[in-house]
Structure 1
Amino acid sequence: MKKKIHGFIEKIIENDIKKNNQMILRTRFPPEPNGYLHIGHVKSIYLNFTLAEYYNGLCNLRYDDTNPKKEKKKFVNAIKKDILWMGFNIKNITFTSEYFDILYTYAVELIKKKLAYVDQLTKKEIHDYRGTLKQKGINSPYRNQNVQKNLDLFSKMKNGFFSEGTVCLRAKINMSSSSIIMRDPVLYRVIESKHYHTQNKWFIYPTYDFAHCISDAIEGITHSLCTLEFQENKKLYEWILTNISVSNYPRQYEYARLKLEFTILSKRKLQILIEKKIISGWDDPRIPTISGLRNKGYTPESLRDFVQKTGFSKQDSLIPLHLLESSIRKDLNMKSIRRMAVIDPLLIIIENIDLLHCENITVPNHPNVPTMGSRKIIFSREIYINRDDFKEYADDNYTRLTYNNEVRLRYAYTIKVTRIEKNKKNEIIKLFCIYDKNTFKTQPKNKKISGVIHWISKKNVIPTKFYFYSPLFTIKNPDLEKNFLNYISKKSKIKKNGFIEKDLPNNISCIPYQFERIGYFIIKKEKNKLTTCHQTVSLK
């Protein structure tokens, strides 16, 4: 039995199928190629593609490319790459720009029906004439031009007679409407820019609202699924489709968009962060683009799980960040091979071990997955531990290394401190310890152990830079702030030095790692052959 995960939308579709069992479900995912996809798009991708899959229908990937000033081929490629990486099968790719010819004929049809006119007001004048929620709009002086003049002017627009910003085609609806979007919205405008797909063929381009609903009709979309902010636009879509000669009439249903704590999902604002060099690009691990999350070590399975957990409803809400983090922890827990890593290392000299001593210890790559195999680590006189795993003075509740207690080295022996060496600044530079050779992986009844810490032999290390990521913003909902740049965290990316075990698989960049007691990481080889470790998520 199919698992119901699409909420009220699934009920709508099943009711429609009952009414018409011959219906073939057709959905679409319609991104604008003006930036990279983010986690909000994951919800739409998941919804449209899985619905089509469950009901043996078809989901189109349609690039709504009506603004050549912002759209680029690199974004087209990035969008396709992200969807494929998410694990969805793209059977049909379309472009709104492929419909420009037919969209133009529908615009002419509206002019001939006296339902559209060419306006020569400035952009500011159009805005001012439109009025407010409390004040009705004012008719443009060009509103009642005769049909032939409008046809002539629109033809001149098409042929490049007018410069950008001087004219536009507007729908003739109702300047007194309570819905501002219905106060003679713009349908076409002049844009003096080369289109990545149609090149220099067109001087005019349809607005998103005009092209979007007609493209759905052309493609035979049965269920046009969009987020709640397009609820008001539906009035315009219905007006357009009712007044042109289309044979298909897609039905629109809205659901709440995905909003995530401490993040911004506006492509315009993400572009500002890139331009101001606050982030390195669209794939920066600190932003919630699919590329950024992938670069951070997130998996397709974790993103799918996250969308399933958040669900589909009409209720707007700000999703807690910990829900996303719990999805990736859940996925990585069984996939990640274990290794030990030391950050901000502190050298330990084990005095009762010979200088040449080199003991091999076999340890599992995963404590609960035997098929992941095992590896050998080295136990020797000189080892490293995390600096914060030692305190010179601590109370009885401290469970790591100090003068007052004895701890176990993971997979090995217990040690205790005998003396400390400091530099002229009174900073600890190394510890001297002794180990108990009778405690290998065992706990003598008469010995009290405070805790277990991880470590790496000096003979078994690779110098590494660690990158730790935390939210880019200091407030939960930066999208609500006009001056959102005032809330950038200075600690969103922290670099630390340390060591990891030498014994790494050849394809290190393809494998997730759990560094014990630290978190989940991905390891990358940089151009200068330096190994860097990037934290995906902490252990809790």
Structure 2
Amino acid sequence: MSEPSKSDFIRDIIADDLATGKHSTVITRFPPEPNGYLHIGHAKSICLNFGIALENEGVKAQCNLRFDDTNPEKEETEYVESIKEDVKWLGFDWGEGLYFASNYFGFFHDCAVHLIREGKAYVDDQTAEEMKHSRGNVNVPGTPSPFRDRTVEENLDLFARMKAGEFKEGEKVLRAKIDLASPNMNLRDPVLYRILHSHHHNTGDAWCIYPMYDFAHPLEDALEHITHSLCTLEFENHRPLYDWFIDNCPVPSKPRQIEFARLNLTYTVMSKRKLLQLVQENRVSGWDDPRLPTISGIRRRGYPPEAVRHFCKRVGITKFNGTTDVALLEFDVRDHLNASAQRRMAVLDPVKVVLENWSAEPLAIVEIPNHPQNPELGARDVPISGEVWIEREDFMEDPPKKFFRLGPGRHVRLRGGHIIRCTSFEKDAAGNVSLIRAEILPGTVGADAPEGVECRAAIHWVDAATGADAEVRIYDRLFSVESPDDADGGFLTVINPDSLKTVTAKIEPSLAEAPAGFNCQFERVGYFVTDLKEHRPGVKAVFNRTVALKDSWAKQAGK
């Protein structure tokens, strides 16, 4: 699977490197930390890194999937497996290029020993607070640690004893000896190794010292012969440190780090920490809650991977941070489903209509196309009897002038079936319409209205005898403001109370048997998908709304 991508500054750099002979191949990587589920922002990076590899197949390009698993306190096998599933769902394949940073722990250790032998690293006994204070700030240079001038022999001995587990967590760290006066704070003797007596998901209890991300990441890239290490702009100030490690460690290659702007969306939070908080505090039902921007969440909501890839291509790759309107993502989802999703009928707020002059035959069949513009998707037979459900909003007791649906004495067509006329209706004790009586106009299936009969609308319906009940979840945006991160009381205070509404709907028989993950349009209602976890064909029907037919939030913003 390879889709054309518009040019950008990263692709221009790569094209120039190939044209000038600087590189004869292109090797990129997608390097997630397995400390949470991926979100739509990661999808942009996945599409970029794997997309570049696919676009350069002529030079044997490759994109590795590498797990940066250097922090055992936050990483879990569950996250590893979910990330693999997300990458595959988006349509990409890492082939033989599946790697774990933890498999390089021996190499990282050897590089650290090399730096110690070169006098470029030392063991520090200061506390984290003392180190923070001694590093200074952007206006004040750092002051040397009292342990900065330890001898090479002493540092080698202490580091070996750290590795052997002789010290407690926080008792000692290994730091690089670079430049305490550098205006770039990342170069002021950064920590390379810390002590963590924690079980690792991949290496078990083999190690009790673990490398810091800034130290491990460039070494991983070099070991895998990555040509272009693509990361987001927050790592731009880390690039001098990245290059320092590459220049001062015994690495087999010299990758180039290039930064691009991350994806930010309105009405959304992207921070893994905040997403984890939403999950742990049960504000949502889990990492795959369809309201979350996690890839597993949008998959469960019914977003097609093709639409997500198209959205990432449309957003593009730039050097400038900004925020993209989430409506653009919803537009791409809606646009894709409009062309590909089959149509079905479901009534979310049902009221019964009795067809009083129905024939003696208890059941009839009407043929309805599965898609109005795509005959290749075929048609289906839908049963109808003398009683049907329609949407409550499709009937008005005293309709205004431009209301063309059902009302006393008015005509409307049942989608794919007869034209009917309302003859009377009943109300319950609360004053709500509880039953509508109507008559069919014989001979109007597939035919125009008889002369003198005004029928200007068709409505969807579900047969009362053969239809089924379904749990339908109406999902909306999780937050009620464009920038939840900037909310005065914090992002939790602007959670949209209407982000999920659940109704019991009436569905046509075919929907009850639909497999999990089946996308369709509920005619005149919206796009829906059978839930991946709870829908059981023929037993329990559960549908999630993917996206509405129209952007109702745009209307609210206009008001």
- Normalization by structure 2: what TM-score? 0.92
**Mapped contact 2:525–2:549 kept (Cα < 8 A):** yes
Match in the other structure for 1:157: 162
CA RMSD across the alignment: 2.0
Distance 1:445 1:131 in 2: 88
What code does the residue aligned with 2:80 have?
V
Do residues 500 (structure 1) and 507 (structure 2) align?
A: yes
**Mapped contact 1:4–1:10 kept (Cα < 8 A):** no
Distance 1:362 1:26 in 2: 53
Do residues 70 (structure 1) and 77 (structure 2) align?
A: no
Where do residues 469-480 of structure 1 align in structure 2 (5 Å cutoff)? 469-480=475-486
**Mapped contact 1:355–1:381 kept (Cα < 8 A):** no
For the residue of structure 1 that corresponds to 2:382, the secondary structure is: strand
For the residue of structure 2 that corresponds to 1:433, the secondary structure is: strand
Distance 2:359 2:23 in 1: 81
For the residue of structure 1 that corresponds to 2:119, the secondary structure is: coil
Match in the other structure for 1:212: 217
Structure 1 residue corresponding to 2:382, chosen from 377, 381, 400: 377
What CA deviation, in whole Å up to 9, does each residue of 1:340-359 have, x standing for no partner?
10011001112232465433
Structure 1 residue corresponding to 2:471, chosen from 446, 465, 470: 465
Match in the other structure for 2:542: 532
| Offset, 1:149 | 1.6
Moved more, 136-145 or 197-206: 136-145
What code does the residue aligned with 1:53 have?
L
Distance 1:499 1:196 in 2: 47
| Offset, 1:536 | 1.1
Where do residues 130-279 of structure 1 align in structure 2 (5 Å cutoff)? 130-279=135-284
Moved more, 163-172 or 358-367: 358-367
Where do residues 321-360 of structure 1 align in structure 2 (5 Å cutoff)? 321-354=326-359, 356-360=361-365
Distance 1:128 1:484 in 2: 31
Distance 2:207 2:410 in 1: 78
| Offset, 1:322 | 1.6
| Unpaired segments ≥5 residues, structure 2 | 551-559
**Mapped contact 2:23–2:227 kept (Cα < 8 A):** no
**Mapped contact 2:535–2:543 kept (Cα < 8 A):** no
Match in the other structure for 2:492: 485
Moved more, 339-348 or 429-438: 429-438
Match in the other structure for 1:43: 44
| Offset, 1:487 | 1.3
Moved more, 181-190 or 107-116: 107-116
What code does the residue aligned with 2:11 have?
E
Distance 2:299 2:3 in 1: 29
Match in the other structure for 2:14: 13
Distance 2:530 2:45 in 1: 31
Do residues 314 (structure 1) and 326 (structure 2) align?
A: no
Distance 1:125 1:509 in 2: 56
**Mapped contact 1:384–1:457 kept (Cα < 8 A):** yes
| Offset, 1:372 | 2.2
Moved more, 114-123 or 475-484: 475-484
Moved more, 454-463 or 238-247: 238-247
Distance 1:402 1:12 in 2: 65
| Offset, 1:33 | 0.8
What code does the residue aligned with 2:64 have?
N
Do residues 102 (structure 1) and 112 (structure 2) align?
A: no
Match in the other structure for 1:437: 442
Distance 2:513 2:394 in 1: 31
What CA deviation, in whole Å up to 9, does each residue of 1:282-313 have, x standing for no partner?
11111111111111111221111111111111
Moved more, 501-510 or 370-379: 501-510
Do residues 79 (structure 1) and 83 (structure 2) align?
A: yes
Distance 1:168 1:478 in 2: 37
Give the number of aligned pairs: 540
Structure 1 residue corresponding to 2:462, chosen from 449, 456, 467: 456
Match in the other structure for 1:509: 516
- Normalization by structure 1: what TM-score? 0.95
| Offset, 1:5 | 2.5
Distance 2:319 2:350 in 1: 51
Moved more, 403-412 or 227-236: 403-412
Do residues 414 (structure 1) and 415 (structure 2) align?
A: no
**Mapped contact 1:362–1:377 kept (Cα < 8 A):** yes
What code does the residue aligned with 1:485 have?
L
For the residue of structure 2 that corresponds to 1:352, the secondary structure is: coil
For the residue of structure 1 that corresponds to 2:169, the secondary structure is: coil
| Offset, 1:6 | 4.5
Distance 1:506 1:386 in 2: 22
Identity among equivalent positions (%) equals 41
**Mapped contact 2:302–2:517 kept (Cα < 8 A):** no
For the residue of structure 2 that corresponds to 1:212, the secondary structure is: helix
| Offset, 1:410 | 1.3
